[in-house]
Amino acid sequence: SLIEVDPITPFLPSGDLDSGAFSIPAFNLVEHARREAEDIGAATVDVRHLLLSLMEMKSGPLHYPLHSQKYSPRGISECIRLNLGDGVFQGGRRTQLDQSRKGFHIALQILLQDAGERAARERADVIQEIHLARELVEGQNAGSRILEIEGVDRESLARVLAGMEYEEVDSGGVGR
């Protein structure tokens, strides 16, 4: 029989992002995505910003699986930036995004909720980077579409991620 588990909820009832629902590296990843969105003047943080953060993160959970397919995380970062229409190069104005649910695109809200459900099913105490990466790769979202456009075999990537024993290291955030 299946035992029902309560999902790890990424947002507090107030709507604020719950830092306690994430491992420190995963929370830093989401915060980096928010800063990236602010830097280019985006209206909300979306899945592409999260994918960009995963690509820029040193030794992130997607690096080995991408390298095994002969893809460079740096190259994919450049494609994501082109897809985002980097406002820095278009005279864009930096924005200050709401740190609550309102500051996140609905697709990213759903991805974070799904990552919380996955983490709970896997008996994790918090949402980790690997949960975010798996949801991004396996879901139908803007980030997974960019990977497909670049020719990344998402099914193979998902299989590698599913079999990975990924140990998070708190590096103090994603590199800037």
pLDDT on residue 41: 87
Q: Using an 8 Å Cβ cutoff, are 137 and 157 in contact?
A: yes
Mean pLDDT computed over every residue of the chain = 86
Q: Evaluate whether 38 touches 176 at the Cβ level (below 8 Å).
A: no
Give tens-digit pLDDT for 8-56. 999 999 999 999 999 999 999 999 999 999 988 888 999 999 999 999 8
- Looking at residue 162, its pLDDT comes to 86
Across the range 146-164, mean pLDDT stands at 89
- Identify the pLDDT of residue 2: 63
**Which residues, at least 6 apart from 89, have a Cβ–Cβ distance to it below 8 Å?**
none
* 29-33, 82-86, 108-112: segment of lowest average pLDDT: 82-86
Using the CB atoms, write b or e for 11-49: b if 16+ within 10 Å.
Answer: beeeeebbeebbbbbbbbbbbbbbbbbbbbbbebbbbbb
What pTM was computed for the model? 0.86
